[in-house]
Amino acid sequence: MPAANRRILHVLGLVIAVFGLSMLLPLPVSLGIGGEAQVAFDKVFLLTLAVGVGLCLVSRLEPFTLLVVPTPAFWKK
């Protein structure tokens, strides 16, 4: 898979995972109300989080190291 596609999938996975984590805020309301809606909410929360984390893990990139090479332009004062 090309590196550009991996970067796009990685960012998309991060966005989906953050969206899944944001679903934790209304979770206490869902638990308080109960019923069938709570079961659906829990399933969607777990599915969203799993897809986001899965995309992040599958599309991981190699660690990027910054190489700084001093050049004569830096030596001028």
* Model confidence pLDDT, tens digit, residues 19-56: 999 988 888 887 888 777 788 888 999 999 999 999 98
Show the domain range for 42: 3-61
- Dist CA 54 CA 50 (whole Å): 6
| Cβ atoms of residues 21 and 63 within 8 Å | no
- What pTM does this model have? 0.69
| Structural domains of the chain, count | 1
Indicate whether 21 belongs to any domain. yes
Indicate whether 43 belongs to any domain. yes
The type of residue at 56 is C
Indicate whether 69 belongs to any domain. no
**pLDDT (0 to 100) of residue 47:** 95
